[in-house]
Structure 1
């Protein structure tokens, strides 16, 4: 264990990245070859990297992404109709700066949630706050929160997240309270934050899921008119992979 005074002082100051770099470099043969400016530059680089990694880890914990997906791992060869130029444009992130939305639709198993989580992970890496929510579970949690006094706090938190991912939209029709909650969330976010929605249903069928025509028009106006769309097709990738594994 290194007991050098500088090492102890760096830890006391909370400069843990610098302290670790100092300890590792001091114990290596490289130390004697470094000038004072090079020492300082090395320690500062490690401190910045340490703080970046710590903040990223915190953002990912907050995001609660359902899948450990990375945009670098997207399989563009899969037969699902993924618009590669559009997806790569989404990866760049300008749509988040513009507070646009994204709708990912297609049959079950084509990777809608995976792609949404991959974009969420990239947004975390780009220093944005992200939150993943399955729509059925979210409405249940909001109903409980209304009863125990947490509703206002949760609603405000949903409004402040840079990128909100609403997964599995449209699995069942909305009741009156769910319609109201969804409209309030989207109203708070409209023009200020971005939202990703994944659904097995095409947008043309969303009116029926929402139920009330007035609410449907208001919700879709705030969600769809400024949304990019990834319309996926094809068979379930999970089934395809199982069949491929069985043949090998």
Structure 2
């Protein structure tokens, strides 16, 4: 008697569809290998756990809102020989997450700041950590829209609780009121509580320029960001540099005339 048709609705009721997806194959495997019942059950439970972990991983990927799928394995360290690769690998292991420490990444456009930030975010997701990626402009726009809807405090609280927030392109556009206050509020709420990665084209000494209207607010925000932060400088050529076209070979439009043609 085949018990699988009878088990199917029960497994669905128990929300064990991971077992349902593999039970026939596992049953054949158990019969062929004369497997003990406990080993057979362990395989089924393992399938269910793997399915749930994959679902969680996929959900975190969607919530992260990454621009593209950038990984540390794809990062070209050879272009940036001065970058501390040992530190990068240490950060990828996730210690900064438990420290609730910021990571600040600066460098010229095209040196891989966003790639590195998203790659570290991917590492965090693999470790079961929720991540949110936004540009600085997108983030302040989200908070401003929440203010207009009367949901500012609720949105601020939700963003402050995200275990890892990646803020890309800080300082690319000046922060005008109320965006400067919104960013300050968010950084203050996350301070020493959750980890934040920030990328910027500005040198560290120039970050106050992002707050043209309020230098006091700039100082208060940046003090919190810089405290216990891991600072990375990416100094190299842009990988977006255009490729030079090969030089055209000179060609003769006219044939050389042979002596006997004169």
Q: What are the residue-to-residue correspondences of 1:77-88 with 2, within 5 Å?
A: 77-79=78-80, 81-88=82-89
Asked if the contact 1:81–1:234 (Cα under 8 Å) also holds between the matched residues in 2, the reply is no
Q: Cα gap change, 1:29/1:192 in structure 2, threshold over 3 Å: closer, same or farther?
A: closer
1:80 Cα deviation after fit: 6.1
Which residue is 2:252 aligned to? Answer: none
TM-score normalised per structure 2: 0.87
* 1:230 equivalent among 229, 232, 255: 232
Say if 2:216 is the partner of 1:214. yes
Deviation at 1:222, TM superposition (A): 0.8
SS class of match (1:100): coil
Deviation at 1:219, TM superposition (A): 0.4
The answer for the alignment partner of 1:196 in structure 2 is 197
Aligned to 1:237, the other structure's residue is in SS state coil
Q: 1:66 to 1:80 in 2, by over 3 A?
A: farther
TM-score using structure 1 length: 0.91
Map residues 166-177 of structure 1 onto 2, 5 A cutoff: 166-177=167-178
Report deviation, 1:12.
Answer: 2.2
Number of equivalent positions: 242
Structure of higher RCO (CA pairs closer than 8 Å, 6+ residues apart): 1
Structure with the larger helix share = 1
Q: 2: distance between equivalents of 1:135 and 1:164? A: 11
Bigger-Rg structure (1/2): 2
1:49 aligns with: 50
CA distance in 2, matches of 1:31, 1:52: 28
Using the TM superposition, give the Cα deviation of residue 29 of structure 1 relative to its aligned residue in structure 2, in angstroms: 5.0
* Aligned-partner Cα distance in 2 for 1:56–1:135: 25
Cα-to-partner distance string for 1:163-206 (whole Å, 9 max, x where unaligned): 00000110122113112111110111011101000000011001
CA distance in 1, matches of 2:146, 2:81: 38
1:1-248 mapped onto 2 (5 Å cutoff): 3-26=4-27, 28=28, 30-33=30-33, 34-79=35-80, 81-211=82-212, 212-239=214-241, 243=243
Contact 2:208-2:215 within 8 A present in 1 as well: yes
The structural deviation recorded for 1:111 is 0.9
- For structure 2, list consecutive stretches of 5 or more residues without a partner in the other structure: 247-262
Separation of aligned partners in 1, 2:8 and 2:26: 11
For structure 1, list consecutive stretches of 5 or more residues without a partner in the other structure: none
